[in-house]
Amino acid sequence: MYCHYAMFTLRDGPDRAANARKLMLWLQRLGTEIGLIQSIHINLNAFAGPAAADMLMMTTYASAADLAAVRADPRHQAMLAWYRQVAIDGDRREVNFLASDSQPAFALQRTGS
C-alpha cells in the first residue's frame, strides 16, 4: 500500500473558513470520483498556531503509479490550481511512503486511562 499525506495551509482572511470547507468538499469529491484512490481521510486542524496547517489529508493507493495517475488527472489539477490561489504562497507539504501492515517504520498505541 502506498500512502500520500498532504498538509494544506490557507491564506488568512475573511474567506479562510469558507475556503477550508470548499477544499475539504473538493477533496472528498475527488476521493469518491477517482477509483485509484483506495482510501481518503481528511482532518481539519482543531488547534490554531504559528506552525499549524489547516488540514491534513491522508490517502492510500495500490502503487506509486496510481498516485502519479491521480496527480495527472484533470480533476486533481483543477483543485491544485484553485488551491494555489488561496494558499499561503501555494504552500502544501506532503509525505509519501510505502506502508507495510506487518512492519511499520514506528508504531505506538496506548491503552488504558
Domain count, the chain: 1
- Model confidence, pTM: 0.83
28 located within any domain: yes
Query: Is residue 93 within 8 Å of residue 47, measured between CB atoms?
Result: no
Q: Which of 41, 19, 16, 15 is nearest to 28 (CA)?
A: 41
Distance of CA 7 to the CA centre of its chain: 6
CB burial string 21-50: b at 16+ within 10 A, e below: ebbbebbeebbeebeebeebebeeeeeeee
Please tell me what DSSP assigns to residue 12. Answer: P
47 located within any domain: yes
108 located within any domain: no
pLDDT in tens, 4-53: 999 999 998 899 889 999 999 999 999 999 999 999 999 998 888 888 88
Q: What is the pLDDT of residue 90?
A: 67
Give the list of residues 6+ apart from residue 74 with CB closer than 8 angstroms, or none.
Answer: none
Instruction: Report, as an integer, the average pLDDT of 74-80.
Output: 96
Find the CATH number of the domain harbouring 70.
3.30.70.100
Q: What angle do CA 52, 55, 58 make, to 5 degrees?
A: 120
Q: What is the pLDDT of residue 113?
A: 58
Task: Count CB atoms within 10 A of the CB of residue 55.
Answer: 18
Q: Rounded to whole angstroms, how far apart are CA atoms 60 and 46?
A: 23
User: What residue numbers bound the domain in which 68 lies?
Assistant: 2-98
